[in-house]
Each structure stands twice: as C-alpha cells, then as structure tokens.
A and B are shown apart, each in its own frame.
Chain A
Amino acid sequence: MRDLVKKFGAVVAANDINVDISKGEIVGIIGANGAGKTCFVNMVTGYLPPTAGSIKFEGEELVGLETRKITHAGISRSFQVSQVFHSMTVGENLMIALAIANNRALDALSLMDTPELRSKLDNVLNRYKLNAQKDITVSALAQGVRKLLDIAMAVVSKPRILLLDEPTSGISVEEKFDFMDIVMGALKEDGVTVLFVEHDMEIVARYVSRVLAFYQGEIIADMPPKKALADKKVQEFVIGKEHHKKKK
C-alpha cells in the first residue's frame, strides 16, 4: 500500500499509509476505536474507495476494483458483525460459498448439490469444527459459531490474503483462545497471509508475527508484537497507560 489516504469530509480516517505485507505473514492491526483499523480493512477489500493512494497485490492495482473482483484476485475477508445467510443452515451457507468458489459464470447454471461439493463441505466442517452445527439455522446459533462460519465462508475461495475484522469480538473470554486456535490452525495449514484487527493484546501477542498500530488514521508502529507492546507510543495511544501500569 502506498500513500493511502481516506477522508470523510474534514475527517481524515487514513493518512499516508505505507505498508508492505509479505507472503505468509500473520499481522495484527491494533488501535483504539476510531483509529482507522476497519477503514484500512475496508479499503483493501474494496468496501471503501481510498481518497488517494495505491493498493497493489502481486502487481495488480486493487483501487477501483469491485469487491468481487478483489475476491477473485485472492483477497478475502470476514466482518466485525458476521455476514452470513441467517435463514439458512450452516451447511447451506458453506455449500453456497463453495459453489460460488467453484462455479463461476455459466457454470453457476449447473446443480449446486454435487458429491464433489459435499465432500469439500465435509472437509470445511471438520477443519472449522462445525460438524455439530451443520443442520442448525444460523439465526439460532451463538455469536462465536457465527463468527467461525463467517471466517470459514471467507476461506473456501482459497484466498492468498485474508483480513479478519475483530474475529473475537462478542466471544466470551473463556472461548477466545479455543476459537483462535481453530481459526489460526486452519489458516496456517493453507499458508494464507492473515491480517486481523484485534483489541485483545493477549490474542495479538500469541498469534501474530508483526503488529501495525494505528492512531488517528496513521500507522504509529510497525514491529514485532513484543516490541510493539513495549513501545511507549503504542502504550500511550493504543493500549492506554492505565493498562500498562496494571500489567506492571
């Protein structure tokens, strides 16, 4: 990403963002509310067009591309509020995701329910430990399972980069690590580059290899997690001094 800027009138949500992400990295995006984290994810995935700047992935310019074209390019995402099909079961949600990933254009006029897709569905259900919920309608599911489904749906298109927007929000403290173990375990198997927005510093410290700390639309720190969490700027503007004192 080069010289990325996003303005909403007088409000600058992203200012002069310059960052390179290498293949296979697990990057944590941290920052206080309104720091520009979700805005960053939205720009990369085409939900928001940047006011200025460039986003390139494997040489291809992504700015100006429609969201689905960005998905085709190999970038996928999950959402802070899980975006799934509420009136369908977990199995049906994943079948649609698999069908779209496998049957683009006119192939979409072939039958969806095939033995090949069923076998792929079983594989995804196993990897994301969603077997028990396969036939349950999404509206009846707990928040954590919906989040897991949201991520599983984003992954079936085999993206090379996956952006997760606050994957553990709305999940109880006891369940957070189990949840992240399932997700990160499956993603590591696939060798996906992952960028995830997170408020929980314990999650960040445990799973990421690099931290991008946002403050008022700018990246104020870009370093390994241990160093970032000890950084004065990060402590003051992201974690908060009180948190730092408590830890001491």
Chain B
Amino acid sequence: MFNDKTSKFLLVAGLLLILGGAFAPNWIVNQFMFGFSRALAILGLMVLWRTGLVSFGHAFYFGLGAYAVAILDIKLGVTDVFLRLIAGALVAGTAGFLVGFIMRNYRDIFFAMLNTAISMVLFGIVVKTEALGSTDGFAISMSTILGVSPETKYPLFVIITLVGMVSAILVNYYLKTTFGKLTTAIRDNEIRVEYLGFSVAHAIHLKYSISAILAGGAGALMAMSLGQVDPESMINWTVSGELVFITILSGPGNVIAPFIGSLVFEVLRTYAFELAPQAWQLIMGATFLTIIFFIPGGIWSVLEKIGGKKNDK
C-alpha cells in the first residue's frame, strides 16, 4: 500500500505539512484546514468522475456529515474529534448506501440532477425545521481530542492532515484493485464489463457509497474547522457546485490532485473576495472558464506535463 510513489509522496508531504503548520500563522493553518477538509469530498467525486459520473448534489452528504457533528454536540454533548468524524462519515455513508440503490440505475444528466434533487430536499427540510437550526444553523463547540481540550486549532489541523493523507493512500490503493480499475472500464463500456461477468450496478453502488463516506467525513471536518453549520454553506446546491468546480480544477489524474485543487480554490476565493468583494464570483467564473478551455485535465495535468518535461531533460 505504501510502496508506490504517490503514497510515499503523501506520507512525506503530510509529515512536512504537520511540522510546518506548527510555525505557520493561524490564517494559513485555517486555509489548509478548510482546503484539506473539502479535499476529502473531492476525492470521492474524483472516483465517480473516473467512472464517468458527475454528481451535482454531494452537498447532501457533506451537509449530513456536518449536521451529524452539530446534532451530536447539541443533543448529546459529544465533542471528541474522532467520534464526530466517524459519526459524520457513518451517517453520510449509510445515506449514500441507501440512495445508491436508486443512483446506480441512472447515468449522465439524470444521475447528476437526481443528486441535486435529493440534496435540495434535505436543504428544504433543514431550512424549514427549527429543531435543525433552520436558516441560522448551529454553532459547534470546540472539538476535544481524547478528552483533552486544545488551546489552538493546530491539533485539529494535524488530525485533518492525517485523515486526508490516510484517505488519499486508501483511495490510491482502491484505484489499483480490480474494483478500482473498473472505474475507467465502466466509463468506457458498461456492456463489456457486464459480459466479462461483473455487475456494473454493484461497482457503481460501491463507488457511490465510498464517495458519500468521504463527503460526510469532509462535512464533519469542515464543521469542526468552522465551528458552525448552516444550510447555506453546507447543503445548498451552490456547495455541490463548488465541489464539482474544485474536482474539475484539480483534475482526475491522481489522488494528490484534490488536495492541491482545494488549496488553490481556498486561496483563490479568499483573494478574489479581498480584491473585489462585490464581484468575486466574476473572478471565480473566469478561472473556471480558463480551466475548461485551456487545461481540461485540471491542475494535475499541468503538474504532470512539468514533471514529464523534467524527466525528458
């Protein structure tokens, strides 16, 4: 599992980031926490994208993960970072497994929009339900780590980095298994996969459930990083759009790409907002167009080209 270049890079980069984070200012640590939290959801969307499926509704699972943390905190007083993370991933994963029975039968625009529809149903329920915080959402208490209350956000940054690193290594391994290799095969030709003796529906169901678990974990980590959940920033369709944006920005080439793409997105949005508070969406839109026109393979394809040229020399 740790024998290939990608896994080794993730291990080294993760440990260096953890070391560097100890000396970095708070605003940088925050950017990394938000970026890496979101990257987990992008990892899941990348698995789906490689299968030829795009979901415009993964805010459903992102939101479920985030709200699982909030409800556990408010109703049961659970503050442990690991329990919160597991709960977020478990709730979203269970929902993903159940919804997967429907989604595995749909492709293309129907798959994309059915996911949007489901996420908007959840958005509507949360917005209209006082017990779920309605439009204001909930503030979440600071996470504890095995009973200890940290004074800064650095320990949470370390955990998010480690979770991201381990998840990326696991997804990287998965992509090398027969199940994982089927991602591209299914995208290319479902008929042949079925005639080889493998159920396309089962394979898509598994990939969908994995993507839901990752999105739920991402939502849980984001909720803990922000200390706040609300439907607008966790479940709305714009959140699903952001996730798809970052997936395209990152590119599907490697499990490292979602982490780079998410960080670039965080920095881009922060500076776009600072530069043009009234028109920051214009900058984001222009960036999106540039990527689609000039680098459809995302940031990873550019890095690959640079790497390839260096190797040629």
Partners in one complex: yes
B194 within 8 A of A: yes
Residue of B nearest to A87 (CB): B188
A142 and B221 CA atoms in complex are apart in Å by 50
Please tell me which one of the listed residues A88, A101, A154 contacts residue B185 in the complex, with CB atoms under 8 A apart: A88
Given contacts A108-B177, A108-B179, A112-B177, contact A153 B196 (CB under 8 A): yes
Q: Which residues 66-114 of A sit at the B interface, judged by CB distance below 8 A?
A: 66-68, 71-72, 76-77, 79, 83-88, 92, 95-97, 99-101, 103-104, 107-113
Pairwise interchain contact A104-B197, C-beta atoms closer than 8 A: yes
Q: Using an 8 Å CB-CB cutoff, how does the interface string of B151-174 with A read, 1 for contact, 0 for none? A: 000000000000000000000011
Cβ of B189 and Cβ of A112 under 8 Å apart? no
Chain B residues in 8 Å Cβ range of A88: 184-185, 188
Whether A45 contacts B195 in the complex (CB less than 8 A), given A96-B182, A107-B178, A108-B178, comes out as yes
Give the distance to chain B from A3, nearest Cβ to Cβ, in Å.
26
* Interface: A157 (CB within 8 A): yes
- Give the distance to chain B from A57, nearest Cβ to Cβ, in Å: 15
Residues of A within 8 A of B196 (CB): 68, 71, 96-97, 100-101, 153, 157
State A109–B197 Cα separation when bound (angstroms).
16
Inter-chain contacts of B194 with A (CB < 8 A): 66-68, 71
- Interface residues in A, total, Cβ within 8 A: 34
- From known contacts A67-B194, A84-B189, A85-B192, infer whether A99 and B184 are also in contact, taking CB-CB under 8 Å: no
A103, B44: Cα distance in complex, Å? 24
Q: Is the interface of B mostly helix, strand, loop or mixed?
A: helix
Q: How far is the CB of A49 from chain B (nearest CB, A)?
A: 15
Residue contact B177 to A72, C-beta cutoff 8 Å:
no
A76 contacts B195, C-beta separation under 8 Å: yes
Taking a contact as CB atoms under 8 Å apart, the answer to whether A68 and B181 are in contact is no
- Interface assignment of B233: CB less than 8 Å from any CB of chain A: no
Bound Cα distance from A157 to B179, whole angstroms:
17
Query: B177–A85 contact, CB under 8 A?
Result: no
Q: A100-B178, A110-B178, A112-B178 are in contact. Are A68 and B184 (CB under 8 A)?
A: no
User: Taking the complex as formed, is B199 at the interface, i.e. its CB lies under 8 A from any CB of chain A?
Assistant: yes
| Interchain CA distance A77-B196 in the complex, whole Å | 9
Residue B191 is within 8 A (CB to CB) of chain A in the complex: yes
The answer to whether B197 and A103 touch across the interface, beta carbons within 8 angstroms, is: no
Q: Knowing A85-B189, A85-B192, A86-B189 are in contact, say whether A110-B177 is a contact too (CB < 8 A).
A: yes
Does B176 belong to the interface (CB within 8 Å)?
A: yes
On whether the beta carbons of B198 and A100 are closer than 8 Å, the reply is yes
In whole angstroms, what is the CA distance A45 to B193 when docked?
14
Neighbouring B residues of A99 by C-beta, 8 Å: 178, 181
A76 and B194 CA atoms in complex are apart in Å by 11
* Residues A84 and B192 in contact, CB atoms below 8 Å apart: yes
Decide yes or no: A111 and B185 within 8 Å by CB, A68-B194, A77-B195 being known contacts.
no
What residues of chain B lie closer than 8 Å to A85, measured between beta carbons? 184-185, 188-189, 192
Closest to B197 in A: A71
Which A residues are in CB contact (< 8 Å) with B179?
A: 108-109
Q: What residues of chain A lie closer than 8 Å to B177, measured between beta carbons?
A: 108-112
Question: Would A68 and B195 count as touching, CB distance under 8 A?
Answer: yes
Report the separation of the CA atoms of residues A97 and B181 in the bound assembly, to the nearest whole angstrom.
11
Contacts of A96 in B (CB 8 A): 178, 181-182, 185, 196
Supply 7 further A-B pairs (C-beta < 8 A) apart from A68-B195, A96-B196.
A71-B196, A83-B191, A86-B188, A88-B188, A96-B182, A112-B177, A112-B178
Top 5 A-B residue pairs of the complex, sorted by shortest distance between their CB atoms: A71-B197, A85-B188, A108-B178, A99-B178, A83-B192
Of the A-B pairs whose beta carbons lie under 8 Å apart in the complex, a sample of 25, sorted by A's number, is: A66-B199, A67-B195, A68-B199, A71-B194, A71-B195, A72-B197, A79-B191, A83-B192, A84-B192, A85-B185, A85-B188, A85-B189, A87-B184, A87-B187, A87-B188, A92-B181, A101-B196, A109-B177, A111-B176, A112-B176, A112-B177, A112-B180, A112-B181, A113-B176, A153-B196
